[in-house]
Amino acid sequence: MSYIDLIVERQIAEAIARGEMGGGPLQGKPLADLGSEREPGWWAARTLSRERSAERRREADIALAQRRNALWAADSRSQLIDLVAETNAWIETTNATLQPIDAIPALVLQDCDDTWAALRAYDSRARGHRRGPRRGR
């Protein structure tokens, strides 16, 4: 055993003694497809599939941001309710077509009451900061 091997072994033993090496998320779980035969290029195909899924998710996030911006243009609560219903229907359809990606949650449905409250709060703040024409100059 080389000197580097001894150092590595000692560091691993010290980490185990400190409890840093146990209890990970894969503890006690077998690796998927460990003993199965794979076709040539399987890793590239899986990586490409994940990248395509991630790209579709980025596109969906952009489209959702545009739809959320459109909610701010609502002139009335009834118009906002209609826009939120359309947005939520789009979200449900989009979530059904997106493949799950690790650590990225599905698109979240919009809440009409929260959006209306935020819209009203913004509107009242905007009105409070408006200033009339300057006088006395």
Task: Quote the CA–CA distance of 16 and 10 in Å, as a whole number.
Answer: 10
Q: Which of 34-38, 98-102, 103-107, 130-134 has the highest mean pLDDT?
A: 34-38
Alpha helices in the chain (DSSP H): 3-18, 42-71, 77-97, 112-128
Distance between start and end Cα atoms, the chain? 88
pTM (global) more than 0.85: no
Burial of 87 (0-12, 13-18, 19+ CB in 10 A): buried
Residues 53-73 have pLDDT tens digits of 888 889 999 999 999 988 888
Asked if pLDDT for residue 133 goes beyond 90, the answer is no
